[in-house]
C-alpha cells in the first residue's frame, strides 16, 4: 500500500514537473521575442547609452542589468513555485522561505557576474573582429568551460554547500579501494550537506586534474547501504574509465562551434532589418540568445540520446565491476523513491528531455543483465 502511495506521489510530482519544463520551453523564447517585437530592447539600449557617456563597456553592463531585471521580474513567480512551493508540497525541500530566497539571491548574483564578464568579452571581440568574432568567442567559451571544470568544485560549490570529511571510515576505505582498483587518482572522499536544501540524493566525481574528488551527498550516505553507495561510485567510475567527461567536453565544443557559427551568420543577416547599428549593437542580444536557444533545442534530442548511452554504459560498468545486480536494483529503487522520479515517463518526453535513462529502464537493464555477457 505504501509503495502504491509513493508511486502515485511520484507520478503527480513528475506530471507537474513535465508541465513546468514545457512551459519554460516556450516561456524563454517568448520573453526574448517580446523584447524585440515591442522595441523594449532598443529602449534599454538608449538608457544604457545615456548613462555610459560613450563607454562601450558600460553600455553593455547597464543594458545587461536591465535585461536581467526584465527576466527576473517574469521568472521569479515561476521560480518560487517550482523551487519552493512544489518542493514543499511533495515533501522534498528542507528550506524555509528565508533560506530559499537567500540561495536564489546568491545564484542570481553569481550568474549575473559571470554572465556579464562573458558578455563584455563577447562584445569586445565583436567590435574588434567583426568578420571573425565567432571564432574568438568560441575559443573563449572553450577556455572558460575548461577552467570552470577545474574551479567549480573548489570555488563555486562551497558558496552553496559545505564539504565535510566522510565520518564512516569503513565506507571511505571501501570507496578509496574501489577507485584505486580502477586507477583513478583520487585521495579524498567528501560528504556534501545537500540536506541543507533537499531530501534528494546524489553523488558525483567533480573537477579536472588535481581538483578531482569523490563527492557524496549526506542524503545518500544516511539512507543507502554500503553496497548501494559503492554502486553509485562505480557508476561514476564508469564515466572516468570511458573518458566521458572529456568526450562530453569535446562534444560541447563541437556543438558550441556550430552555435557560434549560426549566431554569426544570423546576426549578419538580421542586423540591418532589425535597425541595429551593427552586429556589435547590444540591442541585438535577445536575437543572438534566441539563435543559441533554437540551435540548442534542435540538437538537444541528439545530445540527450548520446548522454543516455553513456549513462547506460556506466551502469553496465558498475555491474561488471562485480556488484550484485540486486544491490544495483535496490539502489535505483531508493534513488527513484527518494527523488520522486518517474520510473516510466512518456516515451516522447524521455527522448526529448532525459539525459539519463529512466529509473524503470535502468532497473530493467539490471534485471536482464548476465555476468558473462560481452563487454
User: Cα 341 to the chain's mean position, in Å?
Assistant: 17
* Domain ranges across the chain: 2-159
Q: Which three cell numbers stand for residue 108?
A: 542570481
CA atoms within 13 A on the CB side of 325: 12
DSSP string, 131-196: TTHHHHHHHHHHHHHHHHHHHIIIIIGGGT--EEE-S-HHHHHHHHHHHHHTT-----EEEE-GGG
Return all residues near 349 (Cβ < 8 A) that are at least 6 apart. Answer: 18
H or E element in which residue 72 lies: helix 56-80
| pTM of the entire predicted model | 0.89
Query: CA–CA distance from 232 to each of 181, 228, 239, 309, 319 (Å)?
Result: 16, 7, 11, 17, 11
Question: pLDDT tens string for the chain (375 positions)?
Answer: 455 677 788 889 999 999 999 999 999 999 999 999 999 999 999 999 999 888 999 999 999 999 999 999 999 999 999 999 999 999 999 999 999 999 999 999 999 999 999 999 999 999 999 999 999 999 999 999 888 887 888 888 888 989 888 888 898 888 888 888 887 777 677 888 999 999 888 887 776 666 677 788 999 999 999 999 999 989 988 888 888 888 988 999 999 999 999 999 999 998 888 888 899 999 999 999 999 999 999 999 999 999 999 999 999 999 998 778 899 999 999 989 999 998 889 999 999 999 999 999 999 999 998 876 544
- Number of Cβ within a 10 Å radius of residue 374: 4
Amino acid at each position: 500500500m505504501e509503495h502504491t502511495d509513493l508511486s502515485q506521489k511520484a507520478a503527480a510530482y513528475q506530471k507537474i514537473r513535465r508541465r513546468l519544463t514545457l512551459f519554460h520551453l516556450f516561456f524563454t523564447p517568448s520573453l526574448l521575442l517580446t523584447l524585440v517585437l515591442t522595441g523594449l530592447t532598443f529602449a534599454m539600449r538608449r538608457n544604457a547609452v545615456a548613462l555610459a557617456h560613450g563607454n562601450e563597456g558600460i553600455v553593455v553592463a547597464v543594458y545587461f542589468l536591465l535585461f536581467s531585471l526584465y527576466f527576473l521580474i517574469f521568472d521569479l513567480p515561476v521560480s518560487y513555485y517550482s523551487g519552493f512551493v512544489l518542493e514543499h508540497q511533495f515533501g522534498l525541500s528542507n528550506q524555509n522561505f528565508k533560506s530559499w530566497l537567500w540561495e536564489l539571491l546568491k545564484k542570481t548574483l553569481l550568474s549575473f557576474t559571470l554572465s556579464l564578464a562573458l558578455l563584455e568579452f563577447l562584445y569586445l571581440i565583436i567590435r574588434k573582429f567583426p568578420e571573425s568574432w565567432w571564432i574568438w568567442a568560441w575559443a573563449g567559451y572553450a577556455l572558460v568551460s575548461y577552467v570552470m571544470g577545474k574551479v567549480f568544485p573548489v570555488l563555486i560549490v562551497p558558496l552553496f554547500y559545505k564539504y565535510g570529511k566522510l565520518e564512516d571510515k569503513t565506507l571511505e576505505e571501501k570507496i578509496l579501494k574501489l577507485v584505486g582498483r580502477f586507477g583513478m587518482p583520487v585521495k579524498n572522499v567528501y560528504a556534501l550537506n545537500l540536506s541543507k536544501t533537499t531530501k534528494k540524493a546524489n553523488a558525483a566525481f567533480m573537477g579536472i586534474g588535481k581538483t578531482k574528488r569523490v563527492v557524496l551527498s549526506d542524503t545518500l550516505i544516511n539512507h543507502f547501504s554500503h553496497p548501494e553507495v559503492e554502486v553509485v561510485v562505480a557508476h561514476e567510475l564508469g564515466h572516468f574509465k570511458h573518458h566521458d567527461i572529456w568526450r562530453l567536453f569535446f562534444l560541447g565544443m563541437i556543438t558550441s562551434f556550430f552555435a557560434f557559427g549560426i549566431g554569426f551568420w544570423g546576426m549578419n543577416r538580421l542586423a540591418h532589418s532589425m535597425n541595429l547599428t551593427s552586429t556589435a549593437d547590444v540591442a541585438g542580444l535577445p536575437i543572438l540568445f534566441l539563435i543559441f536557444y533554437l540551435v540548442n533545442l534542435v540538437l538537444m534530442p541528439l545530445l540527450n540520446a548520446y548522454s543516455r548511452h553513456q549513462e547506460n554504459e556506466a551502469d553496465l560498468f558498475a555491474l561488471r565491476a562485480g556488484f550484485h545486480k540486486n544491490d544495483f536494483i535496490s539502489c535505483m529503487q531508493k534513488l527513484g523513491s527518494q527523488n520522486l522520479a518517474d520510473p516510466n515517463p512518456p516515451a516522447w518526453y524521455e527522448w526529448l528531455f532525459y539525459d539519463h535513462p529512466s529509473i524503470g529502464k535502468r532497473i530493467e537493464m539490471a534485471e536482464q543483465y548476465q555476468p558473462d555477457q560481452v563487454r
